[in-house]
Structure 1
Amino acid sequence: MNGYFSRCAQELMRIHTPHEMVESEYDPLEIPGLSDRIVMTRSQLLNFHKRPGGWKLPGRMWSSEDRNLGVVVNSFLDLESANMEYFKEETAKKAWGVGPVSLCNRNVEDMGERGQQAAIDEQSCLSWLNAREPNSVLYVRLGSLAKLTPEQLLEIAYGLEASSYSFIWAVGKIFESSENGEGGGEGWLPSAFEETEGVPERLILEHPPVGGYMTHCGWNSTLESVSAGVPMVTFPRSAEQFFNEKLVTDELRIGVQVGSMECTSWNTKPGPPVGREKVEAAVRKVMDGVEQAAEMRRRAKDLGEKVERAVEQGGSSYEDAEASIQELKSRKKV
């Protein structure tokens, strides 16, 4: 399952329907009942959520948990303590935060392939990073399932180039090029760009030169960044990713929104791209060594240290994993 925050936010949206109280797709709406003031727009919700009765589908899925002993969640106490308590109170169910589960295996070879199998040699990538200054490189990966348009890829590319920061960009799936051919085919990247696909994600994020991560805010990617103590440039696109963005930028305050406003299904072509100016501005806010960036980096590093303690023996995730096992043992049929 996803983290507690997105689950709580979606449940509160279902109960209070604030998206039905705004006139346009882009009018701000506040999600009531959360520990912090969280404001979104209707355009950032999936279409089926916006239809009358659209929240019944996840409601039916979640109601199946009534027959279960509880829920095992890939999260940890210090990341989502308030949301964890709200979830337990509202559902009257047991919940065990056992994450981040990616830390259960710290084998270097496995870390190199985490996220997707690396298409480039880890050593060549790490050698390139070794030549960079601390916190000077941005890692960019916007998911492996949903596609980006060539136009959006081009805007990201020019925004990154204008920021003047070094970066590693794992380019995922791409829609067919536009009718005028801009942004598609061979040579769509600006000069001096080198294109590749798979990269050793976990090893990159934990490398000292990496000072930021541009992410689609999928829950696994969000946890990878938190675990590495790296602040984020958030670029959500689908599913629960806009809720995860709000956790990162508004509640944890370890990221900056690039300005994505349209939530689409993974195989649906999105609307107009987020412009290069917004991309550049968000990257600079995270990567520049000014007060806001330094404070975000401090908070991210603090969470990264708490992650390590959570999964160690005696930590909150370790204890919850033990408790969930004991609960199952106690219910074992004779």
Structure 2
Amino acid sequence: MEDLVLTSGNHNNNGRSRPERHVAVFAFPSSSHPSLLLTLIRRLSSASPTTVFSFFNTAKFNRPVFSDFSSPDIRRYDISDGVPEGYVFRGKPQEDTNLFLAVAEEELRKGVKVAEADIGLKVSCLVVDAFYWFSGDMAEEMNVPWVSFWTAGACSLAAHVYTDLIRSKSSQIIKGSSAVPDEDEIVDFIPGFSKLRLSDLPSGVLFGNLESPFSTMLHKMGKNMAKATAVPINSFQQLDPNLTKNLSSELNNFLNIGPFNLITSTQNPPSEVDEFSCISWLESQEPRSVAYISFGTVCKPAPHELVAIAEALEEAKTPFLWSISNDSKKHFPEGFLERTTANGSGKVVPWAPQVQVLEHIAIGVFVTHGGWNSVLESVGAGVPMICRPLRGDQQINSWMVEKVWGIGVRIEGGSFTRRGTRCALEQVLSRDGSRKGFKERIEALKELAHKAVEPNGSSNENFKILVDVVTRVTL
């Protein structure tokens, strides 16, 4: 197991005055979590130039987020990933995460002491990924504010905050004699939701392995979050007014401070190189005619589902831009790539500049896994969605997209079939009233999202409250 490694882009202040505050930042080593938290810390650093931030994560996840970024005020610290030397992974679910969770608290406690000695200042605030439920105890011991950052939406957060209530109420909803809650049951007892299907709750709340380290972590997180000094989330309050109102009554300083994708695009216009000429290809397509398909870098539909998507696109004669790994292309139907490329109706790339693509007028629908970042990017661009959730919060996000916000549909039956995919494409892209309804609703949300991040917008005002919490010296 690796020892704590201290690596910062620059530990020399280069003549700058000594910082007045020291904030410890705990990032969780998972998908987009570190980059979102670093985005928040960069904003906080700009708002508080006399504060130095110690950013803790495993080397594997610290390396990419700091690859093109260096600041004397945000110092990188690598902690152990918990994987013993010579360990052979067995392919168990969340195996790497479970190994990390076993050492995380000890590593972070040790890391804070090292950073305090390195910087010469006691930590005055903890800003952490909400997954680190135990950081509340650390903050209490240190007598400092505890900021618990939720990287996703209010809908999934509410499911974790109310896990005990959901489990208690659902125990009364028994299917037959199996003592198992009916997954298709629609319930109305979860605060902030007018209704919700039980099977759309995030895994670990009611279904799945409730005793796994990851599920236990989420349960403890939900139970302890009310003790946090502030709970900022990557969303905007006009998206979920009922959930925002309810969670504001349960949590201290519940602050919608997003969408981050709109804030970063405003402050730092997209600089991603369109190396596969996606935008120039879109220029040749009709307005609102193209289906953009992407499931991110972690989630992958099964091979037979990829076949179904391809068959539906070709059958419906839907122009498409598909971002998919080169390895997955082997599952396409024979001749699919050659036929669609030859007639100009399709383009398949290993990577696409997603924000720029979604903002292009040719895009008519986003076929997505329903990850929170993708949902926010679609809302920010005003593009309706076809969702095929695969894991985590994607189920409940997709419920909101279809049933609450009315800005898209979930794939029929829960997985891609040729018929179901074609029906969804026709429903969202058709010229009749259904397409108009999707477009009108998501355009309305787009306008609210953009207003929220304006100088006097709700997210910007909430961010000012967060800055006050983080820079408040309590020692």
Classify the TM-score, shorter chain.
0.7 to 0.9
1:154 matches 2:313:
no
Higher RCO structure (Cα 8 Å, ≥6 apart): 1
Q: Deviations over 1:308-332 (max 9, x none)?
A: 1111100001111111112223x31
Of the structure 1 ranges 60-69 and 155-164, higher mean CA displacement relative to structure 2 is found in 60-69
Distance 2:222 2:191 in 1: 19
Report what 1:264 is aligned to: none
Instruction: For residue 4 of structure 1, report the CA deviation from its aligned partner.
Output: 0.6
Of the structure 1 ranges 226-235 and 41-50, higher mean CA displacement relative to structure 2 is found in 41-50
Native 8 Å contact 2:193 2:242 kept in 1? no
Report what 1:7 is aligned to: 157
Report what 2:434 is aligned to: 292
1:226 matches 2:379:
yes
Distance 1:223 1:190 in 2: 33
Q: Deviations over 1:275-330 (max 9, x none)?
A: 1110111111111121111011011111111111111100001111111112223x
Return the index of the structure with the highest Cα Rg.
Answer: 2
Q: Which of 414, 417, 421 lines up with 1:279 in the alignment? A: 421
The 3 A distance-change label for structure 1 pair 318 and 108 is: closer
Q: Deviations over 1:79-105 (max 9, x none)?
A: 11111111122x332111110111223
Native 8 Å contact 1:234 1:255 kept in 2? yes
Report what 1:180 is aligned to: none
Q: Which of 261, 264, 268 lines up with 1:105 in the alignment? A: 264
Of the structure 1 ranges 20-29 and 195-204, higher mean CA displacement relative to structure 2 is found in 20-29
Report what 2:458 is aligned to: 316
Distance 2:305 2:327 in 1: 10
Q: How does 1:1-80 map to 2 (within 5 A)?
A: 1=150, 2-17=152-167, 20=171, 21-23=173-175, 27-42=184-199, 46=203, 49-50=206-207, 54=211, 56-80=216-240
Q: Deviations over 1:232-278 (max 9, x none)?
A: 111111001000011111111101111353xxxxxxxxxxx531110
Q: Deviations over 1:211-230 (max 9, x none)?
A: 11111110011000011111
3-state DSSP class of the match of 1:96? strand
3-state DSSP class of the match of 1:79? coil
Native 8 Å contact 1:142 1:172 kept in 2? no
Distance 2:408 2:271 in 1: 24
Distance 2:189 2:216 in 1: 19
1:125 matches 2:278:
yes
Report what 2:44 is aligned to: none
Q: Deviations over 1:125-170 (max 9, x none)?
A: 2222122222111111112102222211111111222222211111
Q: Deviations over 1:168-212 (max 9, x none)?
A: 1111486798xxxxx379867573255321011111101111111
Report what 1:268 is aligned to: none
Distance 1:225 1:238 in 2: 19
User: What TM-score do you get using the length of structure 2 for normalisation?
Assistant: 0.59
Distance 2:325 2:204 in 1: 24
Code of the aligned partner of 2:286 = E
Distance 1:78 1:19 in 2: 30
Q: How does 1:140-289 map to 2 (within 5 A)?
A: 140-172=293-325, 183=331, 191-193=339-341, 194-259=347-412, 261=414, 274-289=416-431
Equivalent pairs, count? 310
Code of the aligned partner of 1:192 = T
Code of the aligned partner of 2:265 = R
Native 8 Å contact 1:139 1:169 kept in 2? yes
Native 8 Å contact 2:311 2:333 kept in 1? no
Native 8 Å contact 1:143 1:172 kept in 2? no
Code of the aligned partner of 2:189 = P
The 3 A distance-change label for structure 1 pair 171 and 16 is: same
Native 8 Å contact 1:134 1:208 kept in 2? yes
Distance 1:108 1:165 in 2: 35
Code of the aligned partner of 1:88 = S
Of the structure 1 ranges 184-193 and 230-239, higher mean CA displacement relative to structure 2 is found in 184-193
3-state DSSP class of the match of 2:377? helix
Native 8 Å contact 1:22 1:28 kept in 2? no
Identity %: 25
Native 8 Å contact 1:38 1:250 kept in 2? no
Native 8 Å contact 1:226 1:303 kept in 2? yes
3-state DSSP class of the match of 1:168? strand
Give structure 1 stretches of 5+ with no counterpart: 178-182, 262-272
Give structure 2 stretches of 5+ with no counterpart: 1-149, 342-346
Of the structure 1 ranges 30-39 and 149-158, higher mean CA displacement relative to structure 2 is found in 30-39
The 3 A distance-change label for structure 1 pair 333 and 93 is: closer
CA RMSD of aligned residues (A): 3.0
